[in-house]
Amino acid sequence: MRLILNAVEKTIESSTLLLPPSLSWLRSTAPGFGVNGDNITVLQKPDDFYNNLIHLCQNARRRISLASLYLGTGQLEEKLVDILSDRLNELGESLEVNILLDANRGSRGDRNSRTMLTPLIKTHPHCKVSMFHTPALRGLLRYVLPTRYNELIGLQHMKLYLFDDTVIVSGANLSTDYFTNRQDRYVIIKSQELADFYYGYIQKVSSVSLLLNEENKLISQSSSHHPFLAPKNAYVECAQKRIWGYFQSELEKPKVEKQTDDTLIFPLFELPPFGIHQDSIATQRIIELADQKSTLNLATGYFNLTETLKNSILFRSQAQFRILMAHPMANSFFKAPGLAGGIPSVYTNIALSFISLANKCKQAHRIRLFEYQKPGWTFHSKGLWQNLEDNRMLTLVGSSNYGARSVNRDLESQIVIITANEKLKASLSNEQKQLFEVGIPFSNEVVLQPDRNPPLWTKAFSWLFKGFF
């Protein structure tokens, strides 16, 4: 008995040492999952992401749970759906399949996520496709806003892909460009405990979402808690209790980390429609606690930091910052028709405003901005990398872009990884290096280039509609 107690004490002691004192608050913020870093793989290429999705789908035996903004309609997406169907044909109801998408984005166009998945539901009725609809889009606004523009109000933006006891945490959607030439981040984690947690979490969000039926109709799972027909307060209260009640119960569960665990994972979530801002608060605290010896490498596909995060970087943190964002040519809206074509210039305006503020506050010496530019590629990566004391490393990876949308409109999911595993640290460092090495320094002088001086209308546009980016 004494030997068992000694082993438990050593396990707790060794796992606690993984967490620096400055980050001990994470244990009361999110459930911590101990993992051996050898069970974590960092992917760097979109085609590796796709190939792993296919491989994991082909080999899943018990459960598949996919949470994404949308499912595309190309050949690669069709292959993924075909493999899902084949796996269901082979295993029947012993394989649980749950898919969570956004209702508005997944309904865009005549051919969309819904039409891609309806045949799967017809053939396999136990396959469940849920579509989250923000409660903020209701009443007259819902009928007035046309398709695509209704997505501005709020989205299901989490990207979590679960197969049995393996989870892929990413910022990438299930679409051809994310499988080919749209750069993002992808971390594969093998952990039954973490997979169980995310499986339950996705189920809770799905339970307050609309259900796609075999007739391609979105139906409510509860008439009293409909996202846009029921009273808003009643729906929000129900969703908050279900989702955050589940999270709190997981937080209160005792977590026993093995002595072989050299990595800790803390799931973070942002649920603005339900008044939950755990992710943004944790991110802000990590940034503010970084000392002057630290260098924080931050990436975002859409540079539009919240005022709170800007203040944290400029006035409350002493760290050095290297921030990577999309060059206009690496923005998915580059040369888009109509007003959308001006969106890259809007982000340039926002970046110019930030760098001007840094200069004005005499903080530019520790803050450098870079633009990702790789011919033929767009940029969608987001996250943070930091080397910690005692030879450890921290990274944030997930769906958040650290902007106004992430904090005020969309459902987001992110994880904190803190590791002492040498192999994993090397993989994360290499990932960060490869992303930043194609970054071009950004400064106020960029507007001297004829093709980079933002049109006047984009300045007014960015000021008026900044909260939607």
Q: What does the pLDDT look like over 359-385, one tens digit per residue?
A: 999 999 999 999 999 999 999 999 999
pLDDT computed for residue 340 by the predictor? 72
pLDDT computed for residue 120 by the predictor? 97
Q: What is the mean pLDDT of residues 265-273?
A: 98
pLDDT computed for residue 12 by the predictor? 43
pLDDT bracket for residue 238 (50, 70, 90): very high
Q: Which of 45, 48, 79, 164 is catalytic?
A: 164
Q: Which of 159, 327, 380, 425 is catalytic?
A: 159
pLDDT bracket for residue 211 (50, 70, 90): very high
pLDDT computed for residue 11 by the predictor? 42
pLDDT computed for residue 8 by the predictor? 42
pLDDT computed for residue 16 by the predictor? 47
Q: What is the mean pLDDT of residues 376-398?
A: 97
Instruction: Give 26-66 pLDDT, tens digit per residue.
Output: 999 999 999 999 999 999 999 999 999 999 999 999 999 99
Does 38-259 match 20-36+262-468 at the fold level? Answer: yes
User: Domain 38-259 maps to which CATH number in 3.30.565.10, 3.40.30.10, 3.30.870.10, 3.30.2090.10?
Assistant: 3.30.870.10
- 425 given a catalytic annotation: no
pLDDT at residue 101 greater than cutoff 70: yes
pLDDT computed for residue 104 by the predictor? 98
- 164 given a catalytic annotation: yes
pLDDT at residue 96 greater than cutoff 90: yes
| Residue 431 CA: distances (Å) to CA of 49, 311, 329, 381, 390 | 14, 28, 22, 11, 21
- 79 given a catalytic annotation: no
Q: What is the mean pLDDT of residues 393-414?
A: 97
Quickly tell me which residue has 């082909």 as its tokens.
58
Q: Which of 133, 157, 380, 425 is catalytic?
A: 157
pLDDT at residue 160 greater than cutoff 50: yes
pLDDT at residue 13 greater than cutoff 80: no
Q: How do the domains of the chain map onto residue ranges?
A: 20-36+262-468, 38-259
Q: What is the mean pLDDT of residues 253-281?
A: 93
pLDDT computed for residue 463 by the predictor? 76
Fold of 20-36+262-468: Endonuclease; Chain A (3.30.870)
